[in-house]
Amino acid sequence: MGKCRVCGREKKISENIGVCIDCIREKPEKALSYIKSIHENVRKRFNLPVFPPKTEDGIECNICGNRCKIGKGEKGYCGLRENENGVLKSKVDSCNSICDCYYDPIPTNCCAGWFCNAEKEGKNLYNLAVFFYGCSFNCLFCQNYSHKFVEKGPVLSVEELLKKANNESVYCICFFGGSPEPQLPFAITFSDEILKIKKVRICFEWNGNGNENLVMKAGEIAFKTGGIIKFDLKAFDENLNIALTGVSNKKTYKNFKFIAREFLSKSDFPILTATTLLVPYYIDEIEVEKISKFISDINPEIPYSLLVFYPEFYMNDLPITHKEIVFKCYERAKKYLKNVHIGNIHLLF
């Protein structure tokens, strides 16, 4: 329990955030003006812009949905691009990335592992997990916030990553992070090159806030390789999404519909899936029901996974999601969707 800085009532909240879910939904201007300072603290800690820059005479970057307009001396929101004396300089491009990679036994750490047939087809094989630095969101509950240390991340070229992937034990490749959006040009180039060498499934796990043309190319890669695109639908309410991630979710939901429209009916496997992290006191059955209905209106067969929250980053003062809330959310989702799963369920027991 803690006192909400907006309504002044004792509520179940993250005291690090200081605002309750009711005020975020009902008094968003007041709630967001307070939470803005939390995001400022986070971003400054990592030497990142507080907001996606929109400088009038800045250089526009259209790699992700934030569409930063980067003025002289400014960085893009992801921290990977900077305007140096009127020239947009990037730490990454279509041939070089800032990323870690490792071999992950199938299906150890895959959000789609509960329905993907990789466990059967790829038994005793590995997923090459490619962890990109940089992100187009600023999640206060981020489970992988090491991606913000872009200055310390290892630089890998397409050729170097090809050597890692061209291994007979690699059955599939997954791009995640951070989120792949700020480095999609590299992911696409690498994917094209590895497919010239070997047959491999290629998947994307992202927040969905990407440039539509790049999202389309990623969708084509996943479709032709039998891969899966996982959208992390953080919240349905836009103000709640801004409160928790610093950024609107409009582009995310637009891209989800886009991928569904372009590929779902053509595919004989579930190319599209979604997850939602059940952040205690903020992502509740109301949010889950709205997300589930959104997905169902597209196709009720789309797999949806509810992830049990573990305290991390700026919301490390929260508990693990309570079992009662998890199953309430599960029942709400099942009203609309045929394939619902609880991920990280081991945390409940």
Give the span between the Cα atoms of 139 and 68, in whole angstroms: 18
> Is the backbone peptide bond immediately before 107 cis, with ω within 30 degrees of 0?
yes
Residue 139 main-chain phi, psi, to 5 deg: -65, 125
Mean pLDDT across 260-266:
95
pLDDT above 90: residue 349: no
* Predicted pLDDT of residue 75: 97
CATH superfamily assigned to domain 96-348: Aldolase class I (3.20.20.70)
pLDDT above 80: residue 229: yes
What are the pLDDT digits (tens) for 230-239? Answer: 999 999 999 9
Helices (H) and strands (E) in the chain, counts: 10, 15
pLDDT above 90: residue 1: no
* 106-120, 122-136, 155-169: least confident range: 106-120
* Predicted pLDDT of residue 122: 82
In the chain, % of residues over pLDDT 90: 94
Q: Quick one: which H or E segment has residue 186?
A: helix 184-197
pLDDT above 80: residue 119: no
pLDDT above 90: residue 121: no
* Predicted pLDDT of residue 269: 87
Reduced 3-state DSSP string for 259-298? HHHHHHCCCCCCCEEEEEEECCCCCCHHHHHHHHHHHHHH
Contact assessment for residue 132 and residue 97, using Cβ atoms and an 8 Å cutoff: yes
Mean pLDDT across 41-51:
95
Q: What is the DSSP letter of 211?
A: -
pLDDT above 80: residue 242: yes
Report how far Cα 219 is from the mean position of its chain's Cα atoms. Answer: 16
pLDDT above 80: residue 145: yes
The string over 209-219, giving b where at least 16 C-beta atoms fall within 10 Å of a residue's C-beta and e elsewhere, is bbbeebbbbbb
* 47-51, 122-126, 131-135: least confident range: 122-126
Give the span between the Cα atoms of 231 and 311, in whole angstroms: 21
State the span(s) of the chain assigned CATH 3.20.20.70.
96-348
* Predicted pLDDT of residue 280: 98
Mean pLDDT across 178-195:
97
Residue corresponding to tokens 């400014």: 74
What are the pLDDT digits (tens) for 126-143? Answer: 999 999 999 999 999 999
Contact assessment for residue 176 and residue 135, using Cβ atoms and an 8 Å cutoff: no
Give the span between the Cα atoms of 191 and 320, in whole angstroms: 37
Mean pLDDT across 330-348:
96
**DSSP codes, 296-310:** HHH-TTS-EEEEEP-
